[in-house]
Amino acid sequence: MSLESRSAPRETADAHLRRSLSSEIGRALPRVRLRLWLESGEELYFGLGRAQLLLAVDRLGSLRQAAASLGMSYRAAWGKLQQSERALGRKLVENRGSRHDGVELTPEGRALARLFQQWFEAVELEARDLAEQIFPFRARCFGESAQVCSVESGTVSES
């Protein structure tokens, strides 16, 4: 049996599945979900959760408030930051003054959180675009509302 004759039935099955899915999924856009992190061996350097934690610290000025806003304990948040600081060999947060004055991001912590977020969003958009090429329906990124599926440069207008 030639390679062409073996692949032809699969293409037909794929086409059938595409038609079936496109008619069933039209009412709700599926979301692309990714888990990305940086690691070395078994040691986690940094991931989306830690980037979100740092951005919350930057916004709120308090590790305790940042942890609570993300649904985690202070102890868990502090442990995750310490683990990343050890792995990276640099401080990500520092005390503002006395212990009760809160914390702020170091320049390295701020840059790392923003760069990771940019990288994650770029990978997520590529994954969404690829999903839309492969599957018979549109997809959206995790943080997108059902109405927003792409961002393009140009003039903004109401529709």
Residue 130: inside a domain? no
Residue 75: inside a domain? yes
Residue 48: inside a domain? yes
pLDDT for 139: 79
- Total domains, the chain: 1
83: domain CATH number is: 1.10.10.10
Indicate the pTM of the whole model.
Answer: 0.68
Please give the residue range of the domain that contains residue 55: 43-110
pLDDT in tens, 33-70: 888 898 888 888 899 999 999 999 999 999 999 999 99
Residue 81: inside a domain? yes
pLDDT in tens, 75-134: 999 999 999 999 999 999 999 877 777 899 999 999 999 999 999 999 999 988 888 888
Residue 131: inside a domain? no
pLDDT for 28: 72
What are the E-state strand segments in 2-154? 31-32, 37-40, 43-47, 93-95, 103-105, 140-141
Residue 95 one-letter amino acid = N
